[in-house]
Amino acid sequence: MPRTSYQDELATLRGEVGAMADLTLDRYWEAVEVLESGDPQQAQRIIDGDTELNDWYLDIERECIDLIALQQPLASDLRFVASSFKIVTDLERIGDLACNLAEYGRELGGTTDVDVEPIARLAGEMVEAAMAAYTTADADTARSVVVRDEQLDGQCKRASETIVRQLVTDGVGAEPIDQRLQRVSRLLVTIRDIERVGDHAVNIAARTQYMIENDDDLIY
């Protein structure tokens, strides 16, 4: 196959990974809206749309395998294809977490005991920054995502502590204890899944740094 065609395939792969990231982030931000609104119809649209992301993930995965098997890329090209292969896995899992968040928002009815929007916004912005680093091959931006993860972890820890503290200090009130415990459980897993979105952003940033600099210090 002509080398120009091979380079076109690499460029197409980069574009497809970026496009999948755009769709994944759209679903994530829509899920964050459901956390605030509790809109059951929007939640169901997000959940039903997960099949599209899963299919896209499988298509890109096959494309990466074909490039490695048929083109046998070396050095930086091999790192790019391998990193892209791993990044779409993280994107697919962020899509799964978006479905979780949509379901939690529907169950909570848009009512939460803590403001999760700033935490969710930070996690989403980390994914955006990690993908920008991948698209533009910017190692400094990739490293900045890891620094922001410490901020996200701290915010998630404080939010979880607030939820548990309110359970202990506020009492049951007019809400039956089983309903209150269920609400607290949903809030805690909401915070946990937002934190996991940030973890996937760090993974994407780490794969990107490896792709650019052949440095796997951030990969864990």
Q: What is the domain-level CATH number for residue 97?
A: 1.20.58.220
Residue 218 within any structural domain of the chain: no
Residue 154 within any structural domain of the chain: yes
Averaged pLDDT, 64-72 = 90
Residue 179 within any structural domain of the chain: yes
Tokens read off for 2? 């002509």
For the stretch 36-64, pLDDT in tens is: 999 999 999 999 999 999 999 999 999 99
The percent of residues in the chain predicted with pLDDT above 70, rounded, is 92
Residue 36 within any structural domain of the chain: yes
- Provide the domain limits for residue 182: 3-213
Tokens read off for 95? 């899509």
* Radius of gyration of the chain, Cα coordinates, nearest whole angstrom: 20
Residue 140 within any structural domain of the chain: yes
For the stretch 119-164, pLDDT in tens is: 999 999 999 999 999 999 999 999 999 899 999 999 999 999 988 8
Residue 219 has pLDDT above 60, yes or no: no
H/E run at residue 79: helix 75-108
Residue 219 within any structural domain of the chain: no
pLDDT for position 167: 75
- Residue pair 59/125 in contact (Cβ under 8 Å)? The answer is no
Total of domains in the chain: 1
The percent of residues in the chain predicted with pLDDT above 90, rounded, is 73
